[in-house]
Amino acid sequence: MKNLELHWKILIGMALGVLFPIILLQIPSFSEEVMVGEKSFTKLGVFITDWIKPFGTIFINALKLIAVPLIIVSLIKGISEIEDISKLSKMGGRTVGLYVASTLIAVTIGLVIVNLVKPGTTITEETRQEILLEFEGDAQKKIDMASGQKSEGPLQAVVDLVPSNIFSALTSNKNMLQVIFFVIFFSICLLRIPSEKAQPVKKFFDGLNEIILKMIDFIMICAPYGVFALMATLIVQSPGIELIIALLWYSLSVLIGLALLVFLIYPLIVKTYTGRSYASFFKGISPAQLLAFSTSSSAATLPVTMERVTEHIGVEEEVSSFVLPIGATVNMDGTSLYQAVAAVFIAQAFDIDLSLGAQLTIVLTATLASIGSAAVPSAGMVMLVIVLGAINVPEAGLALIFAVDRPLDMCRTVVNVTGDAMVAMLVGKSMGKLGEPKIKNWDDFEKA
């Protein structure tokens, strides 16, 4: 195990996390049902929730804990190394342009697939009513969460970029964009002051950056155990097989779209533009993908995405530390594709015909909604409410897709993270900042 590369260790952790509950559930005393509050769980479910789930939560917390400090120090370090403001604005323009373009491609693919497969027509009236009834309450919670966002004016997102108090912005991972705004502003000013005054500040952040990278190394040693705990918890909390079958065509439509992006389109773009092979791209980014899959959170995965893209893919830090934190917050290709498929699926299930205008509205709103989605589990579903509202499809339809949302969230988060890595490579290449990876495999990393 010691000499295995990180992605193998994580994969083994994931596989054991899936197998462990499945095997134990074959033992009658573990599969016995007990009531906890109003819900019934298997005895194994209760055991895993009490004794294994907390380790998964600790692992995710540790990753999130590092995300904001990492953004701050690496962004300051990265921008202060650029030393030329015009280069910074060039990089900013390319980053935003590529993020918008990749999201538009994703939404379009989602729309084409869902219109071809028509998964909503496979649901019978009876199943629809049953599912709606079962998940009515859960869906309402998401709709309530989204209602705050809807009541805001059109420019609220821009207003929200500027924090009125940096310390309160730092207290929540949801405010990453505000932190990024402050740090970019701070770093530009750092470039503008006399060098002898700037040097000690830069040195301080350089040192801090090293410490944070070391902390990530330590957290990643626990990754296989963390993902084991996360997967075991997911298995005992997963929906029944009947629901999965009822929503099979919908789930497949989302999965086909996501797979097309991750396995075909992204590697193709990377190969065409940077010359990097399919294998080297995946070898570089796979631990971040596996972590995205297990945690369902681009924010929690960010420390690892940054480490992989910089050390193992070779994008220089001044590019990766700028492109990736912004990407984790605003670039969600997987989420936008899912929102497009889900919106049309719900419309089909309710027998609502969507005109071309409505489909174009989906392109626009899903792009914006994915930008507005927080990089945490289930955020894409909350923002889906806005897409549904824009095309006059009943928001209560959210209940239809609730049961399979978590597994699809895991998959769309992989796409979100991979899309960010791809854009970092493209921006890196265009700025002459894509070099050879510093670390070729996990052994070198452990020795480093």
298 within 8 A of 66, measured Cβ to Cβ: no
CA 424 from centre of chain: 15
Q: Give the one residue of 111, 376, 386, 439 binding ligand ASP; rule: CB under 6 A.
A: 376
Question: By C-beta, is 56 or 377 nearer to ligand ASP?
Answer: 377
378 lies in the site for ligand ASP, by CB under 6 A: yes
251 lies in the site for ligand ASP, by CB under 6 A: no
Question: By C-beta, is 198 or 363 nearer to ligand ASP?
Answer: 363
Residues paired with 34 in a beta bridge: 41
What stretches of 44-114 adopt beta strand conformation (E)? none
The span from the CA of 74 to the CA of 67, in Å, is 10
Cα dihedral 138, 140, 142, 145 sign? negative
409 lies in the site for ligand ASP, by CB under 6 A: yes
| Count of residues interacting with ligand ASP (CB under 6 A) | 16
Nearest approach in angstroms of CB 183 to ligand ASP is 21
Indicate the helix (H) or strand (E) that contains 33.
Answer: strand 33-36
Q: Give the one residue of 335, 359, 365, 418 binding ligand ASP; rule: CB under 6 A.
A: 335
413 lies in the site for ligand ASP, by CB under 6 A: yes
Nearest approach in angstroms of CB 422 to ligand ASP is 15
Tokens of 136: 């009515």
Question: By C-beta, is 187 or 331 nearer to ligand ASP?
Answer: 331
Nearest approach in angstroms of CB 106 to ligand ASP is 12
Stretch that binds ligand ASP, among 122-130, 208-216, 374-382, 392-400 (CB under 6 A): 374-382
333 lies in the site for ligand ASP, by CB under 6 A: no
Nearest approach in angstroms of CB 239 to ligand ASP is 17
Query: What b/e readout covers 223-252, taking b as 16+ CB neighbours within 10 angstroms?
Result: bbbbbbbbbbbbbbeebeeebeebbebbbe
Positions 284 through 303 that interact with ligand ASP (CB under 6 A) = 296-298
Nearest approach in angstroms of CB 331 to ligand ASP is 9
Q: What percent of the chain is helix, strand and coil (3-state, nearest 5)? A: 80, 0, 15
The span from the CA of 271 to the CA of 255, in Å, is 23
Question: By C-beta, is 246 or 381 nearer to ligand ASP?
Answer: 381
Q: Which residues contact 177 (CB under 8 A, 6 or more apart)?
A: 160, 161, 326, 329, 330
What is the contact surface with ligand ASP in residues (CB under 6 A)?
296-298, 332, 335, 373, 375-380, 409, 412-413, 416
